[in-house]
Structure 1
Amino acid sequence: MTTSDYEAGDLDAVDIGQVLRALGEPVRLAIVRKLADGQAHAKSIEEWDLGMQKSALSHHFRALRLLGLTEVIVTGRSHAIRLRRDEIDRRFPGLLDAVLHAPQPTR
């Protein structure tokens, strides 16, 4: 894979409906909540403990990245994922704060 395989989508081309649909998916919301700490997190399945196969988790990571909500940081052979908080806040002011402070969904 090349670096371009991990490029984040163009957040400026995304509308609020697309973001809300993505965050309406409980696994993606859980990912964004964890990434909201501002740290880059390893993409390993052990890091996330969301009760799913690696391929399913990768699907959710990819969906968030293609929307421009996250980015992959490649360091050698390791990959980490980071929330593009500043860019999201500029594009959709207050959205992440509202999402992050909303009650957790019940399972």
Structure 2
Amino acid sequence: MATTARPVIRVLPAPPGLPEPLPEPAVEDLRLETIFGALSGPLRLEIVRRLLLEREEFDHPCGWFGFDRPKSSLTHHFKALREAGVLRQRQYGLERRSEVRIDDLNTRFPGLLDLIASSSESGR
């Protein structure tokens, strides 16, 4: 039986001088059902998958994804992912940039990010 290679999650070092993250749940407060709820939409799942596999910088603004959606809609999706504990967001002037909480999620739910990274493209 042939096995397929698992996608490689891109982990980039944090640059110096990052702004403080916006409010987010502590690692011990992350709940699987809340995370599953946040990931249940195909667009949100695609946001996380792309940040895991295609990131070019430490964190990205919502415009990096190139989704043809209103900014207010995208803001709502990013906020839902942050409040569930999936994403970490920082404010850079007028721009919010996002990254997946890789270490926190791997600590709390081992294998979850590998599953997300292995999912097929959706939500575009």
Give the TM-score band, short-chain normalised. Answer: 0.7 to 0.9
Residue 104 of structure 1 corresponds to which residue in structure 2?
Answer: 121
Residue 92 of structure 1 corresponds to which residue in structure 2?
Answer: 109
The partner residue of 1:16 within 32, 48, 52 is 32
Q: What percent identity do the matched residue pairs reach? A: 30
Find the aligned partners of 1:95 and 1:25 in 2 and give their Cα distance: 16
Deviation at 1:99, TM superposition (A): 1.5
Structure 1, unmatched stretches of 5+, are none
Structure 2, unmatched stretches of 5+, are 1-18
Which structure would you say has the larger RCO, counting Cα contacts within 8 Å and 6 or more residues apart?
2
Flag the structure with larger Rg. Answer: 2
The one-letter code of the counterpart of 1:81 is S
Q: What is the aligned-residue RMSD (CA, Å)?
A: 2.5
Quick check: 1:68–1:84 contact (8 Å CA) kept in 2?
yes
- What is the number of equivalent residue pairs in this alignment? 103
> More helix by proportion, 1 or 2?
1
Quick check: 1:8–1:68 contact (8 Å CA) kept in 2?
yes
Residue 88 of structure 2 corresponds to which residue in structure 1?
Answer: 71
Deviation at 1:41, TM superposition (A): 0.4
Deviation at 1:79, TM superposition (A): 2.6
